A and B are shown apart, each in its own frame.
Chain A
């Protein structure tokens, strides 16, 4: 993995079709004082397009919703993991699904984590904090 800057100022690609979820997370992140840089796309197709742009900088982490219009989370994940350029980027599935088969599919496709979408400010803070652990090497999924 690439060397990380000292300050927690990471680029996160958020693949999330729910505009409200995005807006609330952004507001909460600002409130809590987390200043990751979030780029949001609404579909997997857009995400893959963004990732394939040779001129754009790659994100440090991908926040991937499970159910999306068009390709769903695991399908997008497989593409990311199949590409030499992007396969080492940690991908965290953030979903409201609680189905075991969803969890299995995601881990099998190479997810670093499978998380329930946070709801309470406290949970959001914890969650955003835990994302940093991916760069600190504390949490590494079975990718």
Chain B
């Protein structure tokens, strides 16, 4: 050990420990041994004057799966076991370093392990020169970087997969900072807004947002920054570069740092121009269809009416001598057929009249509604020996009293028509207000029931499951009920769990909620 005094002023390269270590390396072989075996993954020492000769440390060989004895100390071995492309790189660097000591001999190369796998090695070397500056030896060291390279490849793969998904996504995607300034945008995003990616990179969302929607966008950002909302979806209007308004559905989520601080916003936008157009078109064509159905049924009424009157008049005008039983019965058939045609047209008119208009809605009380519907079928009910059990409490909601009344009259009348003769008819009605404000009715009976598999048919226009039981039926009753429910932002469905052939029929009527909530 050196006993040289140490001073704080000593420059780093003259530190006493450095001097001491350098001296130790020269005097004590164990130091070098420790370095080559313990802290490096192989050392090589190459005779540049006789280039076949090269000593490789046991650790060098061990890295590739061999013992010291199994590999001869010749340069041939490594040149045959290094990846051919990397051999060229190593030889090129070697030549350059020989000519110019300032050119580093330092590269990452692949070796073939005994088991066939690749071993990634960072290989650095230094030429040792004679007094004239001619290289005579190369000293080099290996560091195993296989794990590092594998991790990098994995990361690159993940990055590549992410980029492909991002760029190729059919919906517009953008990554921005927490102020909404775009950092990265994908092709679809550019296409929706008519910009190049580079142009958007300097902008924030408000530059491409309809002025009326900018404030809403800012409050959205604030909610996300404050952590109140994780993901938000809104409909908003963007501005195309050309100034055109683009209606779109925007979903925004925050990407967080490991400590939970929101770092980036990930936005996805879906151009809904086409959907909006299709919705408007559907609304228009529905309205047209309603008008057509109404006009057609209205116009059908006149000839049917005239046929009825004319047929009856004909019967009265015929010479009594000609009016035998057969003729009389034929005239009756003609009249009853026109009667039936008239009811069908009336029912079609009813169906066509039920639109989605809200202006004629008013506050309706469920108890009053059900009581009125019950009164309307009271005679039939008494004749059938049946009973309706109404709910004890009522709820108020918005609706069209006439249409809703018809809905329940139709359901009650259906229950009476399709009762089970074996047992007294019992109709039950339940009502409850759902958490979202919608109102749910359940109308059930113990009649002959509908097989749930047949339920869809029961709702079709002109479909009567059992025409013999309802000779006067139009086959429009349930279709009308369903349309009324739908015109009240709701639906009418059979409850399959509670319905069945011979068991009874239970319908669920939900009013005051969008059909998409089903």
Contacts and interface: CB of A to CB of B under 8 A. Distances in A.
Interface of A: 18, 20-21, 24-25, 27-28, 31, 96-100, 117, 119-121, 124
Given A28-B313, A121-B313, A99 B308 contact: no
B305 interface: yes
Contacts, number: 49
Contacts of B116: none
Nearest to A98: B349
Interface residues of B, number: 24
A99 B305 CA distance: 18
Main SS class of interface, A: helix
Contact of A24 (B298, B310, B338, B402): B310
Contacts of A18: 302
Interface of B: 294, 298, 301-302, 304-306, 308-310, 312-313, 316-317, 335, 338-339, 342, 346, 349-350, 353, 360, 402
A120 B308 contact: yes
Contacts of A99: 294, 353
B298 A96 contact: yes
A24 B294 CA distance: 25
A60 B342 CA distance: 32
Main SS class of interface, B: helix
B306 A100 contact: no
Contacts of B339: 120
A20 B301 CA distance: 13
B262 to A, nearest CB: 55
Nearest to A32: B316
Contact of B353 (A98, A117, A124): A98
B162 to A, nearest CB: 59
Contacts of B301: 96, 117
Contacts of A96: 298, 301-302, 305
B346 A98 contact: yes
B346 A24 contact: no
B309 A24 contact: yes
Given A24-B306, A124-B309, 14 more contacts: A20-B302, A20-B306, A28-B313, A31-B313, A96-B298, A98-B349, A99-B294, A100-B360, A119-B308, A119-B309, A119-B342, A120-B312, A121-B309, A121-B313
14 contacts: A18-B302, A21-B305, A24-B310, A31-B316, A96-B298, A96-B302, A96-B305, A99-B294, A119-B305, A119-B308, A120-B308, A120-B335, A120-B339, A121-B313
A117 B306 CA distance: 10
A31 B318 CA distance: 12
A121 B308 CA distance: 8
Contacts of A28: 309, 313
**9 nearest CB pairs, A to B:** A96-B301, A119-B305, A24-B309, A121-B312, A119-B308, A20-B306, A98-B349, A27-B313, A31-B316
